[in-house]
Amino acid sequence: MAACEECYRRKTRCDGAQPRCGSCARRGVRCVTTNHRLIRQRRLQDLERRLQSLEKTGPPASHGDHGLEQSPLPRTESAAKQDAELPQQSPIAPTTAWSAAELETRPSPGRYLGTSIGVGFVDMVEQAVLGSAEPTPPEPTPMLDHVSRGYRKPMPSSPVLPSCSQLRIPSKEVALRLVAAYFAHWHVTFPLLFRPSFQRLVDQIYARSESYREDASRAFVFDAVLALGSAACNRFEWSPKDTEAHFTRAMSRLETVLEYRDLRSMQAYLLCCQYGIHASMRDTGEEMWELLGKAGRLCIELHLHQATPPLARGDVHLTGEIPVMVRQEMRVRCFWCYYSLERIVSVTLGRPLVPSDDDIATRLPLTEDDEQLQRPEEGRQRPLLSPFAQHIQIRRILSKAHRFLNTSASTRSLPLAEKQAIRRGLLGELQAWRDQIPQLGLDRVEWWSSLSSFTSKSWYEAIYHNTVLFLYRPSPTFPYGGLEMPLDDEDGLRAMWESSRAAIAKYKHVLQARRLNYSWICLYTIFMAGLANLYSIARLAQRCSSDATSFLPPFVEAVNDIRDCSNIMIAICERWDDVRSSCQVYSRLSNSAVAELFKVHMQDARREAGNSKARADANSEQREASFQERGEAVLPQQMALFDATDIGGDMSGQADKCDDFQVLFQDMQATIYNQGNNDANEVTMGFGREWFGDVG
């Protein structure tokens, strides 16, 4: 018996009564029943028809080689027509002639879906990696498969790029500016490439054009650096067309570079992931997890995580020959760059960490920069810290916290006091990390670096508060356990509120300083801080309504924090139109959270007004008795000293009309899960089941 749409959406049992089921009758809503099996059969028939059409069409023609001309060529009429037709593809059009049964498989509700705005990035990598290969049946978890096939939809807001054969490298003047931006911004916390060797590579490319066409690894790293440098330079521009053009050229060489199976392939994986995580305005979280999985296997194959003697394949770099004295250090840097990216994506998606910290035996990177490594001087004092080293330290702390809170089953059965002691130990490590921030010397930066978030103290402070927030958010180890006050001094709800508002304030400062990275991972981080802020406000208000002695956030401060977070998200969504749903989700939840807080403040105001009136009545009776004893007359105005009124009566009525915070969240989550909404991405589904316990 099929459930009606309303029961299906709310995940409740439907009795199937006609013409209206019992649940819909009680709630007074319309009862509609849809035959989902018939819909799936029709979808399968449609897929079979499309497969037959594609089999008749045949495989697409392969791209030719790319020239080195520096002036763009005019678009041909056929190419323009082909590009114009691309967005009109069906949302479920398959890309290879696989069986309809294999293509019909849909992800389970718990699986991260990604959003359609990641299709452009997926297509670039798929075209490079799988473009020249014969169609083969998909693997159980095919790389970049589910978005490009099952969830494709038109992207009218995305720029239309020329084909690969029409994309030309820029002039040397422009290239040098983009290279400088790359090393001033990304290289600060991602020193994957040896700068002197890359500078020589750029000179060779513009001195001898054949080197670009003949060497795929050099062409790839050159274009990848231009793409990342362009993303750093053009953060304040609305169109990423130039950035994606550079990245498209790099992707055309990726397949060849990955076939090397040496350090060059590892560096290529990491450059792709760096772009997809931090520089792309498209939701690529699931795709980056797939790529980092392949990079992790290659990392272990090359023994980068071990302190063993290096393999010969670990000394071949994308930039060509590098000095012998820095080869070991560059291998160490390569591993920790992978470690940093892998931890970001795995923690964001809630996946297990690979490799485990217990399996890592390689040393930490040195704190010297590239020039100091190339020209070591006797007696020169080594810097105590570097942004890269500081970055690794916070990722290692986050790694331990993630394993403790989310992925380790053994910690969940520990006594509460022992789990709280472990959390306090992690907080101590975080505080020690925060105390080291002044030693980075962030005030002494060049002009280019002054525009980088990685040289901003506020950015490091935001990371600190986000990690503290991560420790106090509900998790499998510390699930939601009610609203009662804690027996000890550790108030998790208050700590969550204070950490979330501090993180929002730091990100606001980074935005005002024009240093914010506009990317999906940035939006996710800010969105989660905002959600945790709303959650703590609503829960603290609910707790205070039953226990007047508990902490209650000040109303004005709470509203200001919500407004600041909303403004930051709007600034990102203005450049990323497809994720405006996250702003809408935050807006609706914030209204309900504020309503919860407002009602409790109204109760306090009424209680205080009642106490004032009682005190006034007592004082009035005393004065009346005193006057009567002295035989004096009592004036009417003297009897109405404290006429308490119902403060904010109209606002109270308005607040009662707002949705309950928990019910509103559960309805929105169930709607996204059960209706196959394409916006069910890691941003809009930031809450976990542990936030409210069992929901249904």
pLDDT tens profile 78-129: 444 434 433 333 333 333 333 333 333 333 333 333 332 233 333 433 333 3
Q: Which of 363, 389, 421 is the last residue of a domain?
A: 363
- pLDDT at position 481 is 58
First to last CA, the chain: 20
Q: How far apart are CA 450 and CA 330, in angstroms?
A: 26
Peptide bond into 355 cis (omega under 30): yes
329/407 same-domain check: no
Is 651 inside a domain boundary? yes
Q: Which of 306, 334, 363 is the last residue of a domain?
A: 363
- pLDDT at position 205 is 93
Is 333 inside a domain boundary? yes
Q: Which pTM value belongs to this model?
A: 0.70
Is 511 inside a domain boundary? yes
For residue 4, report the phi and psi dihedrals to the nearest 5 degrees.
Answer: -70, 165
- pLDDT at position 483 is 53
411/320 same-domain check: no
Domain count, the chain: 2
Query: Per residue in 414-442, is it b (16+ CB within 10 Å) or e — as a string?
Result: eeeeebbebbeebbebbeebbeebeebeb
- pLDDT at position 652 is 44
HSE, side-chain direction, 13 A CA sphere, residue 682:
27
355/411 same-domain check: no
Is 24 inside a domain boundary? no
Amino acid identity, residue 246? H
- pLDDT at position 666 is 59
222/356 same-domain check: yes
Could you read off the pLDDT of 618-631 as tens digits, one per residue? 666 665 555 455 55
The domain of 616 spans: 402-696
Q: Which of 314, 336, 363 is the last residue of a domain?
A: 363
Contacts of 586 (CB under 8 A, 6+ apart): 527, 530, 531, 534, 565, 566, 569
428/514 same-domain check: yes
State the residue for tokens 């990423």: 240
Is 77 inside a domain boundary? no
Q: How far apart are CA 427 and CA 618, in angstroms?
A: 51
Is 221 inside a domain boundary? yes
445/325 same-domain check: no
Is 375 inside a domain boundary? no
427/291 same-domain check: no
For residue 340, report the phi and psi dihedrals to the nearest 5 degrees.
Answer: -65, -45
- pLDDT at position 337 is 97
Residue numbers of the chain with a pLDDT score lower than 70: 1, 35-39, 56-167, 236-240, 377-381, 443-450, 481-490, 577-579, 604-696
- pLDDT at position 508 is 95
419/353 same-domain check: no
500/609 same-domain check: yes
Is 397 inside a domain boundary? no
234/322 same-domain check: yes
Q: How far apart are CA 662 and CA 420, in angstroms?
A: 26
413/342 same-domain check: no
335/468 same-domain check: no
